[in-house]
Structure 1
Amino acid sequence: MTEQQPYRMVSRHPGFELRRYPAHLVAEMRVQASFTRAPMEAFRPLAAYVGGANRARQPVGSAVSTTSVASGSAKIPMTLPVVQIEGERPGAYLIQFVLPATVTAATVPEPVDARVRIHEVPAQLAAAMRFSGRWTEHAFSQRATMLGRAVTAAGLQPTGAIRYARFDPPWKPWFLRRNEVVLPVVD
C-alpha cells in the first residue's frame, strides 16, 4: 500500500474539500523548465535522494510501507503526492517529493546533490480540488482558477501558492489518474 500524505478533512464545500495538513518534510528541487518538463527534470535527482543518494546511503523512510517506482533498474520508495509549485518567474517551478510521515527533521538524511533541499512545511489549512485526467498545464490551470473562485465564494482567504499534486505514475492511463490542486487558506 502506498503511503499518502496525511490530512484531516474539516468540511466539504461546493467544488472543494477543506483539509488540515500536519507539518511535514519534503525533498525539493527548483527547476527552470516548461510546466510539463519541470517534474521530469527534477525526478531523477529527487528519486536518487529518496532511493539512497544521501549522506546516510539508505532509502528515505525504508522502514515504512511505500510504493516502489522503477527508475532505471532501481526501486525507489515513494510517498504520494509529487507536488509542483509555480516559482517567482515564468518557467520556474519547485518540485517536491513528500517524505514519509515517519521521517522527522532529526532523522532525515542530508542530500548529497546540492540541488536537492529538505524543507519543513508547517501545518496548514488548505482547500483541495480532486480531478482525473492528463497532466497538462491547461488542465491544472483550469482547476486552479475554479478552486480560487470556489474558495473566495466560500468566504475563505487564500494565503499561499497553489500546489499541483500528482498521485500516479506516468504509465497509468490518463483517465484513471488522481490529481489535485491545493490552495492554502487563512486558518
Structure 2
Amino acid sequence: MSNFSRLFLASILTALLLAAETRAADEPPHTVVLRDGPIEIRDYAPMILAEVEVSGPMARAGNAGFRPLADYIFGGNTSRQATGSDEITMTTPVIQSRSQSIAMTTPVTQTRGQVGHWRVAFVMPPEWTMETLPVPNDQRITLNEAPARRMAAIRFSGGPNRSRFEEMSDELIAFLQNEGYDIVGEPVYARYDPPWVPTPFRRNEVMIEIAR
C-alpha cells in the first residue's frame, strides 16, 4: 500500500471516529412512536433552547449561528451562582429554522419567513432550568422554553444544502399527508455532526411538528 493510500485510509478512519464521538452526544429526551424507513414519529419532552437569529444563505447562516452558541455553552456566559462562568454539555442536534420574527404564515411554531433569515438553536441539557442556566454574554442569544411536542423526522446524509433540505421537507410532508397526520409546524433542519465530519457521513434530519 502506498503512503498516499495509507494517509487517505487514516483520514477516513479518523473522520469516522469523530463522527461516532459526535453522535455519542446527548440528544433531547424522546420516545419513538413509529419508525418507517428513514422516517420516525417522536414524542419529545419539554426542552430549553438557546437561540440566535442570523441571515444569509442556509449553510453560511448555520455556521454563523453556531459560533456564538458554541461560545455560550463553552464559557461565554455569566453564572447565576456568582462563580464566574459555567460550561454546558454539548447536545445534538443543532436546529435551524426560518426566522419566526419575519413570518409570512401562521403555524404554531416554526414558520416560512423570508429567504435568508434563520433562527439557529442549541438544545440545553435536561438538568438545566431557566433559573439555573447561565446568562449569555452575547445579547443576541435568547433562552426559550419549548413545550412537549410530537415531531415527525426524516433522516438523510450530506451537508446543509438548501435544495436537499427542501426535497426532504417535501418528502416528509407527502408522507404525513398520505398517512393522515395533522401538520402544525413548518420544516426545521437538524444537524448532528460538526463541519469537519466528511459530508457523506453527516447525519441530518428535517423535522416537522404534528398533532398528537
Q: Confirm or deny a common fold (TM above 0.5).
A: yes
- Structure having the higher Rg: 2
Which 5+ residue runs of structure 1 have no aligned equivalent? 61-76
Please give the secondary structure, in 2, of the residue aligned with 1:131.
Answer: strand
Give 4+ residue runs of structure 1 displaced > 6 Å after superposition: none
| Structure 2 counterpart of 1:9 | 32
What is the root-mean-square deviation of aligned Cα atoms in Å? 1.3
Quick check: which one's helix share is greater? 2
| Percent of pairs with identical residues | 35
**Cα deviation code 1:137-164 (max 9, x no counterpart):** 1111110110011111110011112110
The answer to which of 98-107 and 24-33 deviates more is 98-107
Instruction: Provide the C-alpha distance between the structure 1 equivalents of 2:49 and 2:149, rounded to a whole number of angstroms.
Output: 15
Q: Deviations over 1:9-46 (max 9, x none)?
A: 01124652111011001110011111111111112211
Q: Which residue of 142, 160, 163 corresponds with 1:138? A: 163
2:211 aligned partner = 186
Q: By how many angstroms is 1:90 displaced?
A: 1.8
Q: Which runs of 5+ in 2 are unaligned?
A: 1-23, 80-84, 100-112
Q: Which has the higher strand share?
A: 1
Tell me the secondary structure at the aligned position of residue 87 of structure 2.
Answer: coil
CA–CA separation in structure 1 for the residues paired with 2:96 and 2:210: 18
1:12 partner SS? strand
Deviations 1:39-89, CA, capped at 9 Å, x for gaps: 1111221111111111211112xxxxxxxxxxxxxxxx4110000001222
Query: Please, what TM-score do these two structures have when normalized by structure 1?
Result: 0.87
> How many residue pairs end up in the alignment?
171
Letter in 1 for 2:31: R
